[in-house]
Amino acid sequence: MSESAPTAPAPSTPRKRRGRATVGWIALVLASLLLLLSSFAVWVDRVALNTEVFADTSTELIEDAAIRDAVATRAVDELFASVDVEAELRAQLPADYKSLSGPATAGLREAAYTLVARALEQPRLQRLWTATLEESHETLVLVLEGDEGRISTAGGVVTLDLERIVLEAADRVGIRGRIEGRLPEDVGRIEIFRSDELDTAQDVFRILNTLAWALPLLTLGAFGLAVWLAGDRRRAVRRIGVSLLIVGVLGLVAVNLAGNYLVNELVTDTSTKAAAGNAWDIVTELLRHSYRWLFVVGALFLVAAWLAGPGPRAAAARRFLAPALRERLWAYAGLALVGLVLLLTGPVGDFARLLLVVVLVALGAVWIEVTRRQTLAEFPDVSGSTLIAEARAQLAGWWETARERATQGQAAAAPAAAAEGDLTSTLATLADLHARGELTDDEYAAAKSRVLSGG
């Protein structure tokens, strides 16, 4: 007989499991990082670079008092830097008062800040502000998209043009008629970027546009891989819920830190830092809302994992839900309601949000079927009428227990009340005898002492 060749030992099962678990954790961490980045990419592409959404945001900007003051200050400063307001006033004043043009100009400038800021509270000027920002934003987007047929930036710049706001400031001062048409061409213009920076900006725009579509898909794929590699599906769902909560917290912290850096490093004028901070909060509100939205989704994952758990409270919850799970209509109606709320309360309606809601609804349907099978196997005889009868029995038991305790308390209090009544009656009798002279002072004092001591 020939000896058989020795076979190689099979890899140990514990080692396979450890390797699978490690890859699962790596996939989960990667999915969390992708989710953090995809939220930012979607915000930039679908919100910050969406003219319609940005126009709505610009309305909120001018409704902020600090931002109105900053815009008014910029407009008035531009006006006084571009026009010799003192000379214009001197030309309008009578000969005897021309020497007052200097102090009048200084006072007028201080008053102009308040006048223009109050004027920006009016709907007409707010619409003018919104139209100005919308026009500049649309130009910016066209430039970034490389639409050479509609706009050209050769040798020029993309700017925010506040000339109309400056003219409104001149109108409030009372010199618009004299200076209109004489202002420099670049008055009130704020440079966004120059044409020599266009190639870099367009490359960044294309990358963000691609990431806004690709990152959500990669994120879902990474989460799916983490679930597939997990040995315990319920534990994997719980980990995803925790990951969503952590990403939400990290996203909010990152937005706040970025805002603090930009405001403190890029804004040197302390008087405009408040306006810059408010502007950052308004512009990034939708981004912060998307991170807060992750708290809701993460909580849903944690609740789903808990309901499928072996604990007594989870089993009691499944027993309570058994009647609703027995009839699929109620379970899927609740799922449809949750999906509708998630869809309507999102920060912006786009493909990424629709995809995420569809995936969550699909996972919810899978969870309903799995939990339904588990619950009906555990509690096959539980129905709605059974739960109602048990609830009534529990309420009746609690009521009877409360009545018994109340009755026992009254019974215990009765002898004490009776004894207190006898003591009061005896003292009243002694006081009456003493008042009629039938008891001397010493006898009354001795008898009262015996009664109080219980003798």
Three state DSSP letters for 151-188:
CCCCCCEEEEECHHHHHHHHHHHCCHHHHCCCCCCCCC
pLDDT average, residue stretch 421-444: 73
Neighbours of 267 (CB within 10 A): 18
pTM, 2 dp: 0.67
Give pLDDT tens digits for 18-27.
777 888 889 8
Alpha-carbon span 169 to 231, nearest angstrom: 69
**69-73, 160-164, 280-284: least confidently modelled range:** 160-164
Instruction: Report domain extents, the chain.
Output: 51-187, 212-378, 384-452
Average pLDDT over all residues of the chain: 75
Nearest to residue 67, comparing CAs of 130, 110, 109? 130
Contact in structure between 267 and 276 (CB atoms under 8 Å): yes
Nearest to residue 251, comparing CAs of 290, 305, 285, 303? 290
The yes-or-no verdict on residue 403 having pLDDT over 70 is no
How far CA 399 is from CA of 175, 321, 394, 404, 410, in Å, comes to 83, 25, 9, 9, 17
Contact in structure between 128 and 112 (CB atoms under 8 Å): no
Give pLDDT tens digits for 44-57.
777 677 777 777 77
Alpha-carbon span 177 to 83, nearest angstrom: 13
The yes-or-no verdict on residue 5 having pLDDT over 80 is no
Q: DSSP letter at 44?
A: I
Give pLDDT tens digits for 165-221.
787 787 777 777 767 766 776 676 666 555 555 667 677 777 877 887 888 888 888
